[in-house]
């Protein structure tokens, strides 16, 4: 064994769209330890609930993260609705889930592209992002925004999707399927990709549970945990929902789980579109949360379970808003997966947890 050396990784690094700093302790070519350092994106958003009222804060909530924007506005709105005892119309619930699943597709396609870039497959990166543009076109048509949608509000949604738009969405998704199938075949069967992913950064079931991993990262280690299977909101009306699992726990399994989740999301959207009830898309919300009222909520973000907590103080402003994001749950798993890996695999392992630093630090 050689002498231990520390190699700094980030905060500015070609594979990271976001700033994350790691001190990698390396002996020869093997990583023996890693110390993450975060704080480059901390803006202090939880503090802003004191200066913005609960209706305004939804626009802050969705700017916690530009990739999970739809999820955060949805999670926040559901929490405040529970706090105030608001019943959301059924149609609004369906529309929310449809947009949320679309954003899962866009997030996973984005991630598959970045992962391909991490092992040097740049044309695959371009192809994934080309498909992702079709989802962003749907967002732009239905909400007006590509990234920040601003479509969820406390009490419902701000816009409706009419029958014509809905059939257009379904046609687009159906059209994506064949292109996506070709990409997926390459990602899952190409030998040059398998060389970089199979057996790399494996985490077993026991470790995954002990480290409280969530999302596709945990499901790749056979942890059967997906908040969508609780059947809340429109998810409850799905005929059948089975989380996608794999038992290998390595980078290949994580790619595979996310690949299949895209197809699952397309199916969920098609099913909900067929069952879409008519009716209002929002109810008026008046008054303010009671003093001392508390509410909590969980939501399956593209990266895993996200927990929300809110407390009222009798005014329009919330007393406290807290969230625990999937990436902060998964950082411990990432540090474990990195120990003992080759230096060349560090990029791939960091990306396979799909880190979202701006969610984590807020």
Partner 1 sequence: MGYASKSPWVIHYDGSSCNGCDIEVLATLCPGFDGERFGVVNTGNPKHADIFLVTGSVNEQNIAVVKEIYDQMVEPKVVVACGICACTGGVFHDCYNVIGGVDKAIPVDVYAPGCAVRPESLIDAIVEGVKVLDEKAAALKAAKKGGR
Range in contact with partner 1 (rule: CB under 8 A) among 5-13, 89-97, 224-232, 257-265: 5-13
Residues 95-134 that bind partner 1 (CB under 8 A): 110, 125-127, 129-130, 132-133
CB of 318 to partner 1, least distance (A): 16
> How many C-beta atoms lie closer than 10 Å to residue 175's C-beta?
12
Q: Which of 22, 26, 31, 60 binds partner 1 (CB under 8 A)?
A: 60
Nearer to partner 1, 34 or 38 (CB): 38
Residue 67 interacts with partner 1 (CB under 8 A)?
yes
DSSP assignment letter at 7: E
Q: Of the two residues 86 and 169, which places its CB atom closer to partner 1 in the complex? A: 169
Which lies closer to partner 1 via its Cβ, residue 70 or residue 251?
70
241 near partner 1, judged by CB under 8 A: no
For residue 17, state whether it binds partner 1 (rule: CB under 8 A): yes
Residue pair 25/31 in contact by the 8 Å Cβ criterion: yes
Going by C-alpha positions, the residue among 99, 144, 163, 155 that lies closest to residue 280 is 155
Give the DSSP H/E element, type plus range, for residue 307: strand 304-312
Residue 80 Cβ, how far from partner 1 at the closest point, in Å? 18
CB-count exposure of residue 167 (10 Å: 0-12, 13-18, 19+): exposed
Alpha-carbon radius of gyration of the chain: 21
Q: Which two tokens stand for residue 85?
A: 């005892």
What sign results for the dihedral spanned by CA atoms 197, 201, 206, 207? negative
Provide, rounded to whole angstroms, the least separation between the CB of residue 172 and partner 1.
Answer: 14
Question: Smallest distance from the beta carbon of 328 to partner 1, in angstroms?
Answer: 15
CB 59 → partner 1: shortest distance, Å?
7
CB-based burial of residue 156 (10 Å sphere; 0-12 exposed, 13-18 middle, 19+ buried)?
Answer: buried
List of residues contacting partner 1 (CB under 8 A): 11-14, 17-19, 39-45, 47-48, 51, 59-60, 63-67, 69, 110, 125-127, 129-130, 132-133, 136, 145-148, 356, 358
């Amino acid at each position: 064994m050689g002498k231990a050396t520390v190699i700094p990784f980030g905060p500015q690094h070609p594979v990271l769209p976001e700033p994350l700093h790691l001190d990698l302790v390396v002996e020869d070519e093997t990583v023996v330890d890693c110390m993450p350092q975060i704080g480059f994106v901390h803006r202090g958003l939880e503090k802003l609930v004191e200066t913005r009222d609960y209706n305004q804060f939804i626009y802050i909530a969705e700017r916690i993260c530009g990739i999970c924007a739809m999820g955060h506005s949805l999670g926040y709105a559901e929490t405040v609705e529970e706090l105030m005892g608001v019943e959301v119309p059924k149609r609004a619930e369906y529309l929310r889930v449809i947009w949320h699943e679309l954003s899962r597709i866009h997030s996973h396609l984005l991630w598959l592209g970045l992962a391909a870039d991490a092992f040097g497959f740049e044309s695959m990166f371009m192809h994934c992002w080309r498909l992702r543009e079709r989802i962003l076109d749907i967002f732009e048509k239905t909400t007006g925004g590509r990234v920040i949608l601003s479509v969820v509000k406390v009490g419902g949604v701000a816009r409706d999707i009419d029958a014509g738009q809905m059939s257009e969405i379904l046609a687009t998704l159906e059209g994506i399927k064949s292109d996506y199938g070709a990409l997926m075949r390459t990602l899952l069967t190409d030998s040059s990709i398998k060389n970089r992913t199979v057996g790399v950064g494996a985490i077993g079931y026991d470790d995954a549970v002990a480290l409280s991993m969530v999302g596709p990262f945990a499901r790749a280690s056979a942890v059967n945990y997906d908040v969508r299977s609780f059947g809340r909101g429109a998810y409850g009306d799905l005929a059948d929902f089975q989380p996608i699992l794999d038992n290998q726990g390595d980078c290949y399994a994580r790619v595979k789980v996310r690949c299949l989740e895209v197809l699952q999301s397309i199916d969920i959207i098609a099913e909900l579109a067929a069952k879409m009830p008519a009716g209002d898309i929002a109810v008026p919300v008046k008054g303010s949360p009671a003093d001392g009222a508390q509410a909590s909520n969980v939501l399956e973000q593209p990266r895993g379970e996200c927990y929300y907590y809110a407390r009222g103080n009798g005014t329009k402003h919330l007393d406290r808003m807290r969230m625990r994001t999937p990436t902060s749950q998964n950082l411990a798993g990432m540090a474990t997966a990195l120990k003992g890996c080759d230096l060349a695999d560090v990029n791939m392992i960091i990306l396979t947890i799909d880190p979202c630093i701006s969610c984590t630090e807020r």
